């Protein structure tokens, strides 16, 4: 699931469904079934006019966002099934596959301008700096890869972390990089210090499957337990529960352009929307208040667990996620570079 303006896209077995986020107007705009196998990832171009899709069938498709018309196709783009795609500018985009290979493509040439396989496991997520120069790749082998797009070369790999790295985002005005892991830990790296993590923050969650920044210091994290947590980075705090998918893992998160609306998807083929506008004004200081262990997470939206609104009236018979317990983490809470 990715965003462009007020539209969100959800994908399934080789098909894409677009929904309008305007209240009361959620509807299917178009669908497409060009891929032969399941569609693994989608992303809008920088100008929002095109939609990039990658698939288990090893192909890359570029469609018009307005109509869903197929414009460009790269069949057999990788040797292994594709897992993620990231537009860098209006001409350059990157792809990663299940075998750890990364390619950077130039639409003007119609071919890859950088090809590398430095990581041993699947590429789970990618991020790029504001200048479109440095590409970061998170991998199932626990490493963070660094590639120089402008010079078209591989730079370095971080030390392996515990578990798979499942997500990567830039924080603190690009001075910090945060990576989520399958072990439920957020690893922090200093910019230009990617060799080893500078800090780590263990959540009381089984996994971190996806992560999206809301502000320069706050991210929303999706986990196997179905809870969406709001997390502040440096000082490291779990702020509370934004929302949840009862009994199913969170697969993807996307935030609207204005940062006020979060969309989430899980195994139930549903897209849910959460008001995260309050996170933009939250300030977290270094003082850590003592709280009772085993207490519930603070509700950060009106539909979240513990908000007082009876959102789950029709789900009373379902068990609540165990992860609605108190959160914590071992961290230095430092903001040093």
pLDDT value at position 307? 53
pLDDT value at position 308? 44
Q: How much of the chain exceeds pLDDT 90, in percent?
A: 65
- Tell me the per-residue pLDDT of 126-164, one tens digit each, with 9 for 90 and over: 999 999 999 999 999 999 999 999 999 999 999 999 999
Classify 279 as helix, strand or coil. helix
**Dihedral angle of Cα 11, 13, 16, 21, to the nearest 10 degrees:** -40
Assigned token pair, 249 = 């893992």
Residue of higher predicted confidence among 259 and 13:
259
What is the distance between the alpha carbons of residues 128 and 147, in angstroms, rounded to a whole number? 9
pLDDT value at position 12? 46
Q: Is the pLDDT of residue 24 over 90?
A: no
Instruction: Write the CA distances from 276 to 96, 121, 189, 305, integer angstroms.
Output: 30, 34, 26, 14
User: 53 near 35, Cβ under 8 Å?
Assistant: yes
Residue 153 CB-half CA count within 13 A: 3
pLDDT value at position 19? 63
pLDDT value at position 18? 58
Cβ atoms < 10 Å from Cβ of 245 = 21
Residue of higher predicted confidence among 303 and 115:
115
User: 130 near 89, Cβ under 8 Å?
Assistant: no
pLDDT value at position 3? 41
- Tell me the per-residue pLDDT of 46-59, one tens digit each, with 9 for 90 and over: 999 999 999 999 99
User: Judging by DSSP bridges, how do beta strands 227-232 and 218-222 pair with one another?
Assistant: antiparallel
Q: Is the pLDDT of residue 166 over 80?
A: yes
Q: Is the pLDDT of residue 212 over 70?
A: yes
pLDDT value at position 6? 40
Mean pLDDT of the chain: 85
Q: pLDDT band at 295, cuts 50/70/90?
A: low
| CA nearest to 157, candidates 166, 147, 144 | 144
Classify 189 as helix, strand or coil. strand
Residue of higher predicted confidence among 325 and 298:
298
Mean pLDDT of 175-192: 97
Model pTM? Answer: 0.85
Q: Is the pLDDT of residue 86 over 80?
A: yes
Assigned token pair, 8 = 């969100």
Q: pLDDT band at 302, cuts 50/70/90?
A: confident
What is the distance between the alpha carbons of residues 247 and 265, in angstroms, rounded to a whole number? 13
Residue of higher predicted confidence among 11 and 206:
206
Q: Is the pLDDT of residue 38 over 50?
A: yes
pLDDT value at position 336? 47
Lowest mean pLDDT among 22-26, 158-162, 179-183, 317-321: 317-321
- Tell me the per-residue pLDDT of 313-323, one tens digit each, with 9 for 90 and over: 333 333 334 43
């Amino acid at each position: 699931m990715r965003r462009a303006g007020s539209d969100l896209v959800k994908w399934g077995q080789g098909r894409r469904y677009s929904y309008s986020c305007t209240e009361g107007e959620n509807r299917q705009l178009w669908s497409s079934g060009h891929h032969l196998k399941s569609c693994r990832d989608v992303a809008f171009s920088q100008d929002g006019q095109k939609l990039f899709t990658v698939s288990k069938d090893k192909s890359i498709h570029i469609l018009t966002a307005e109509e869903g018309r197929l414009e460009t196709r790269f069949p057999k783009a990788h040797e292994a099934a594709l897992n993620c795609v990231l537009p860098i500018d209006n001409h350059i985009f990157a792809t990663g596959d299940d075998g750890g290979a990364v390619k950077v493509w130039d639409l003007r040439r119609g071919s890859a301008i950088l090809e590398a396989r430095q990581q041993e496991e699947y590429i789970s997520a990618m991020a790029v700096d504001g200048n479109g120069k440095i590409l970061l790749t998170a991998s199932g082998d626990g490493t963070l890869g660094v590639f120089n797009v402008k010079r078209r070369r591989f730079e370095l790999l971080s030390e392996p972390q515990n578990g798979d790295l499942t997500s990567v985002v830039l924080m603190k005005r690009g001075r910090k990089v945060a990576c989520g892991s399958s072990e439920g830990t957020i690893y922090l790296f200093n910019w230009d210090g990617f060799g080893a993590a500078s800090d780590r923050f263990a959540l009381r969650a089984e996994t971190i499957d996806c992560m999206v920044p809301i502000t320069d210091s706050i991210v929303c994290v999706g986990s196997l337990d179905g809870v969406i947590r709001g997390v502040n980075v440096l000082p490291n705090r779990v702020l509370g529960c934004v929302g949840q998918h009862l009994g199913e893992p969170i697969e993807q998160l996307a935030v609207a352009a204005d940062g006020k609306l979060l969309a989430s998807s899980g195994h139930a083929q549903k897209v849910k929307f959460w008001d995260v506008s309050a996170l933009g004004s939250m300030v977290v200081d270094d003082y850590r208040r003592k709280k009772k262990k085993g207490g519930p997470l603070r509700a950060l939206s009106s539909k979240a667990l513990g908000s007082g609104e009876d959102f789950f009236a029709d789900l009373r018979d379902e068990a609540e996620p165990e992860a609605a317990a108190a959160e914590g983490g071992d961290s230095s809470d430092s903001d040093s570079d």
